[in-house]
């Protein structure tokens, strides 16, 4: 095999491997749908403008974030209020909707003297594309059941 043909073959294999990694790897790293009962969120609500609720029968999950101007690398305080849910634990996951942005998951802590209120502080990863769609995924653990709500928003 000539030197030129060997170089071309190696380059082609590397280009193919890179292409597969760029397409396949983000899909593998993105969190899969959980199969948890999903609370219905008001599609007209944005946590950038007001607190938002998701409901299932008589139970609800409400989320409020401050500051309202959600930006990358700025500490964000998330307050989650549960109604009709006696949770053992509440977790928050922030996920890029169009692009994998790494794992950003925190466990919220119960707020003293405020039953059903959980709080945590985190921040968004830097995105170089300007404004980007995100999803705040709240998972409340109640005994052996996980209850889930999604809140979509955009941030710079």
pLDDT tens-digit map of 135-146: 999 999 998 889
Q: What confidence tens digit (pLDDT) does each residue in 7-45 have? A: 778 777 877 776 666 665 565 554 444 566 788 877 778
pLDDT at position 20 is 60
Cβ–Cβ under 8 Å, residues 82 and 118:
yes
Give how far Cα 92 sits from Cα of 50, 60, 73, 98, 130, Å.
Answer: 18, 16, 17, 19, 23
Token pair for residue 35? 């199969």
What share of the chain has pLDDT > 90, as a percent? Answer: 44
- Threshold 0.85, pTM exceeds: no
Residue 82 preceded by cis peptide, ω within 30: no
pLDDT at position 19 is 64
């Amino acid at each position: 095999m000539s030197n030129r043909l060997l170089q071309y073959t190696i380059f082609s294999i590397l280009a193919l491997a890179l292409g597969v990694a760029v397409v396949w790897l983000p899909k593998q790293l993105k969190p899969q749908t959980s199969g948890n009962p999903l609370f219905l969120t008001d599609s007209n609500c944005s946590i950038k403008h007001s607190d938002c609720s998701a409901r299932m029968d008589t139970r609800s999950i409400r989320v409020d974030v401050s500051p309202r101007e959600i930006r990358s690398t700025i500490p964000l305080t998330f307050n989650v209020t549960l109604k009709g849910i006696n949770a053992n634990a509440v977790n928050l996951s922030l996920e890029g909707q169009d692009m994998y942005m790494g794992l950003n998951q925190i466990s919220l802590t119960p707020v003293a003297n405020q039953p059903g209120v959980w709080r945590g502080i985190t921040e968004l990863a830097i995105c170089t594309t300007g404004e980007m769609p995100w999803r705040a995924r709240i998972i409340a653990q109640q005994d052996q059941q996980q209850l889930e709500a999604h809140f979509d928003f955009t941030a710079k």
